[in-house]
């Protein structure tokens, strides 16, 4: 099914308006289960467990998920991201981790978002395909940071190339300019993005430019999620309309925030 939908997505650009509308309807109906749930609230950016020898330690993931669900009241996780040290891991290790997170999260987490961004486009595409096959609820992609995209158009093109191989998964752009050095305003990236990426569903905004963030919230479509990722500025982001927060240093205080979520999110 994933292969068929990927090819269908690529072929849309060659269809006339009527046929394109019909094909889009087919794609959206196939994607409906994954797209029915909007990502909101507190999302834990998970650490990657390692052994003392520096190898990934997947035996700890089940207990980690239980802790987040039972002790912290977390129902969604963001794995293999910056906190998970994904950029220091190889593709094989990231696949093993994605499989274990998705498997152990079944029945315990509402959503598992897998970050698949890499410096190499083909590696990102490989991880995106794998995430779709593994049962992830969405994928996120960071901007490449060695040969950096210097315009919104260039960045959108990169994001499109990754999203197109996993069109059945909600797609999120992971903006973290302090790490990538890519300072393209997110509002520019969002312009008409669904025409290029039909599966686009939001942004993980980990930057301190609150003006850009506020404009993203204003531009956001009803089915998008604009999630904030700078712990120190979370309250300001909430006041500006953030739909949720993705973070790691808050993991020990998630339970406190969950108890007050009525005040935070409503």
64, 172, 173, 174: which is the annotated catalytic residue? 174
Q: State the residue for tokens 């712990």.
A: 231
User: 33, exposed or middle or buried, with CB in 10 Å at 0-12, 13-18, 19+?
Assistant: exposed
In contact, 138 and 111? CB cutoff 8 Å: yes
173, 204, 219, 228: which is the annotated catalytic residue? 204
The Cα-based distances of 56 to 50, 61, 96 in angstroms read: 4, 10, 9
CB atoms inside a 10 Å sphere around CB 116: 32
Indicate if 95 belongs to the active site. no
d(CA 222, CA 219): 10
In contact, 143 and 162? CB cutoff 8 Å: no
Indicate if 261 belongs to the active site. no
Would you name the residues annotated as active-site residues? 174, 204
């Amino acid at each position: 099914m994933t292969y068929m939908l990927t090819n269908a997505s690529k072929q849309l650009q060659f269809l006339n308006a009527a046929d394109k509308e019909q094909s889009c309807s087919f794609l959206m109906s196939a994607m409906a289960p994954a797209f029915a749930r909007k990502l909101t609230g507190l999302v834990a950016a998970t650490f990657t467990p390692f052994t003392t020898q520096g190898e990934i330690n997947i035996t700890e993931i089940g207990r980690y998920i239980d802790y987040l669900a039972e002790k912290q009241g977390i129902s969604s996780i963001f794995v293999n991201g910056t906190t998970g040290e994904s950029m220091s891991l190889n593709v094989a290790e990231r696949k093993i981790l994605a499989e274990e997170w998705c498997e152990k999260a079944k029945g315990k987490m509402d959503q598992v978002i897998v970050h698949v961004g890499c410096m190499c486009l083909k590696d990102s595409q490989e991880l995106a395909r794998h995430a779709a096959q593994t049962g992830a609820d969405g994928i996120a992609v960071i901007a490449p940071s060695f040969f950096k995209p210097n315009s919104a158009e260039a960045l959108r093109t990169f994001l499109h190339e990754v999203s197109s191989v996993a069109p059945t998964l909600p797609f999120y752009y992971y903006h973290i300019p302090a790490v990538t050095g890519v300072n393209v305003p997110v509002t520019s990236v969002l312009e008409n993005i669904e025409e290029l990426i039909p599966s686009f569903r939001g942004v993980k905004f980990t930057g301190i430019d609150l003006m850009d963030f506020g404009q993203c919230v204003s531009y956001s479509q009803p089915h998008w999620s604009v999630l904030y990722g700078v712990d120190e500025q979370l309250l300001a982001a909430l006041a500006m309309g953030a739909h949720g927060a993705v973070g790691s240093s808050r993991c020990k205080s998630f339970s406190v925030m969950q108890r007050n979520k009525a005040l935070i999110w409503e």
